[in-house]
């Protein structure tokens, strides 16, 4: 059905090698985006995992850009029959419902296949974060069934290390990917597990930001490794089933995490099953679950600070959220190797507590953090003090030059 819509062609699947790495690429030819190569690259020693016979990963990676531009997709290559059918019937209408400005499109492919690859990999991504550690702990340490036990880890560069809208951004994201990988690899090495670094330029096709389409970009890259994985646990973004339902307006049009439990099974193929894991817990429940797992105390990495370093900054929103929970259960000092506790106490804690007090009825993360603090008799600022301080900080941020407002902020919070 190539109607009067413009369309996107994905073709020329090929592998090239530079000696150390092997690259699988295809040409994306679109009236809106021009003619551009989309590629995925891994170290040569993992080459047997690359799916060279189907273009499933390329199709899922380009699905959202094509829908944003209203372009039908035609794949000049082979696609999983199950995936193609599910995309056209269910996924496209689902994305139109939950993500902004998505247009209805139709996907066609020259060839479909129901082949099941001969592989035994059970995988998940490892980032050192709470969600990733919780999925790993449950399906590696606690898992007795070998059918479900994780036996391979992967680390992707498809957006989580920074945006890729320009060559400079792509290079900065690549550098962060390398620095985080070099740090995190020690943990899989200890356990004797593969930790596959997969680089890509997929994020250059997703200028809307990682959060909006992270499920699609991640699944895209994992499908490229379909010759190794038969099951893949995708760690949820930190909200429980009930919280996804109750606070759906927080994520609607902003984050595919809202629809992961519905979306992921539909991105599975005859050969690889995706499982949305972790939604059975709240974030606080996850932290309590993994807190005594010793590697967490050496590798926990939650920071979202915008720098090239992989280290926890101890003052960004995610560092603060984690440290508030650790403080509530009396475990701050256990993590003093990974966080600068003094910096958190001096520069961030009071204002962060005030923000959580103010947000507790609107934000599920704040609500759970406050509930845990109260349960453990942690002293919290009153609502009136919190409200006034947050108001004042917001006012200085909006109306006073940043250099002066940050001085006022540090005066008010120390």
- Closest CB 338 distance from Zn ion, rounded Å: 11
Q: Nearer Cβ to Zn ion, position 316 or 329?
A: 316
Q: Nearer Cβ to Zn ion, position 105 or 319?
A: 319
Q: Nearer Cβ to Zn ion, position 316 or 412?
A: 316
User: What are the structure tokens assigned to 16, written together?
Assistant: 């090239």
> How far apart (Å, rounded) are the C-alpha atoms in residues 263 and 265?
6
- Closest CB 318 distance from Zn ion, rounded Å: 6
- Closest CB 339 distance from Zn ion, rounded Å: 9
- Closest CB 303 distance from Zn ion, rounded Å: 3
- Closest CB 286 distance from Zn ion, rounded Å: 18
User: What are the structure tokens assigned to 165, written together?
Assistant: 């809208």
> How far apart (Å, rounded) are the C-alpha atoms in residues 280 and 276?
10
Q: Nearer Cβ to Zn ion, position 149 or 305?
A: 305
Q: Nearer Cβ to Zn ion, position 273 or 316?
A: 316
Residues ≥6 apart with Cβ < 8 Å to 189: 195
Q: Nearer Cβ to Zn ion, position 139 or 286?
A: 286
Nearest of 196, 152, 201, 160 to residue 177 by alpha carbon: 160
Is 182 exposed, middle or buried, given 0-12, 13-18 or 19+ CB atoms closer than 10 A? exposed
Residues ≥6 apart with Cβ < 8 Å to 344: 314, 315, 319, 320, 323
- Helix, strand, coil percentages, rounded to 5, for the chain: 50, 20, 35
Contacting positions for Zn ion (CB under 5 A) = 303, 305, 313, 316, 319
- Closest CB 322 distance from Zn ion, rounded Å: 9
Beta strands at 194-200 and 34-43: parallel, antiparallel or unpaired: antiparallel
């Amino acid at each position: 059905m190539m109607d009067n819509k413009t369309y996107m062609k994905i073709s020329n699947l090929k592998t090239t090698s530079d000696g150390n790495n092997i690259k699988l690429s295809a040409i994306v030819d679109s009236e809106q985006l021009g003619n551009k190569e989309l590629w995925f690259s891994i170290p040569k020693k993992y080459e047997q995992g690359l799916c060279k016979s189907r273009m499933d990963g390329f199709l899922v990676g380009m699905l959202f850009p094509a829908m944003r531009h209203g372009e039908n997709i035609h794949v000049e290559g082979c696609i999983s029959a199950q995936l193609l059918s599910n995309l056209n019937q269910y996924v496209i209408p689902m994305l139109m419902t939950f993500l902004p400005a998505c247009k209805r499109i139709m996907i066609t492919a020259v060839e479909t296949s129901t082949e099941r690859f001969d592989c035994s990999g059970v995988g998940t991504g490892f980032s050192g974060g709470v969600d990733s550690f919780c999925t790993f702990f449950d399906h590696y340490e606690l898992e007795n069934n070998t059918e479900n036990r994780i036996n391979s880890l992967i680390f992707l560069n498809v957006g989580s290390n920074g945006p890729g809208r320009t060559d400079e951004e792509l290079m900065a994201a690549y550098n962060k990917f390398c620095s985080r990988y070099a740090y995190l690899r020690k943990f899989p090495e200890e356990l004797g597990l593969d930790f596959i670094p997969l680089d890509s330029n997929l994020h250059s096709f997703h200028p809307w930001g990682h959060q909006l389409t992270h499920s699609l970009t991640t699944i895209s890259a994992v499908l490229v490794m379909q010759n190794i994985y038969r099951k893949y646990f995708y760690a949820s973004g930190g909200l429980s089933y009930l919280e996804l339902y109750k606070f759906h307006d927080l994520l609607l049009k902003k984050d595919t995490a809202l629809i992961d439990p519905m979306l992921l099974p539909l991105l599975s193929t005859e050969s690889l099953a995706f499982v949305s894991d972790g939604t059975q817990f709240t974030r606080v429940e996850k932290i309590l679950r993994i807190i005594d797992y010793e590697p967490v105390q050496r590798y926990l990495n939650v920071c979202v600070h915008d720098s090239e370093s992989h280290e926890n900054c101890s003052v960004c929103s995610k560092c603060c959220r984690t440290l508030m929970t650790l403080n509530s259960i009396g475990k701050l000092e256990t993590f003093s190797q990974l966080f600068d506790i003094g910096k958190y106490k001096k520069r961030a804690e009071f204002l962060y507590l005030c923000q959580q007090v103010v947000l507790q009825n609107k934000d599920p993360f704040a609500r759970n953090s406050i509930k845990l603090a109260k349960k453990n008799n942690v002293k919290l600022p009153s609502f009136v003090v919190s409200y006034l301080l947050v108001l004042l900080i917001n006012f200085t941020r909006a109306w006073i030059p940043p250099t002066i407002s940050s001085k006022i902020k540090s005066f008010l919070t120390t």
